[in-house]
Amino acid sequence: PSIGRGNATVMHRCAGCVVFSDASGFTKLTETLAKRGDGAEVLSKCLNKFFTPLIEIIEAYRGDVIKFSGDALSILFEATDDYALHPSPCGSPDAPRKTALQLACLRASACCLEIHKRLHNFDTGEGGV
């Protein structure tokens, strides 16, 4: 991944799994709110309300947001030695041993499922928007 710091770009080479996550309905939401006088303020509240739990889920699965693109995120799940953190990272001591990259992909997949489970019917709390 490449992370911008001021004018410099920091490069970090690693193995891992990258997820691109895009929030559906964002264009419709912005178009609807653009017609309201308080649209920018409401949009800001909606985005904060959505991205806060989204990022918490990502961090729970040890993912790193490497880029924001409007309503979309690029997320890195770096391949690490999960066995050093837990003797059974797949949940069962009888599960076949996985490589660091396989475990990173499993964490990414589980994270995506959790995001979908918790946020696919996201309610903005802004009266039908």
Which sequence spans correspond to the domains of the chain? Answer: 16-119
128, pLDDT greater than 70: no
**Helix (H) and strand (E) counts in the chain:** 4, 5
Strongest mean pLDDT among 5-9, 35-39, 51-55: 51-55
- What's the token pair of residue 114? 């959790």
116, pLDDT greater than 50: yes
DSSP 19-76: EEEE-TTHHHHHHHHHTSTTHHHHHHHHHHHHHHHHHHHHHHTT-EEEEEETTEEEEE
What is the rounded distance in angstroms from the CA atom of residue 45 to the CA atom of residue 111?
24
Report the pLDDT value the prediction gives residue 1, as an integer from 0 to 100: 47
Architecture category of domain 16-119 in CATH: 2-Layer Sandwich (3.30)
Q: Which pLDDT tens digit goes with each residue over 42-94?
A: 888 888 889 999 999 999 999 999 998 888 999 999 998 877 877 777 767 77
Kindly report the average pLDDT of the chain as a whole number: 85
Mean pLDDT to the nearest integer, 15-35 = 88
pTM for the model = 0.79
Tell me how many degrees the CA angle 113-22-39 measures, rounded to the nearest 5: 120
Question: Do residues 72 and 22 lie in contact, with contact meaning Cβ atoms separated by under 8 Å?
Answer: yes
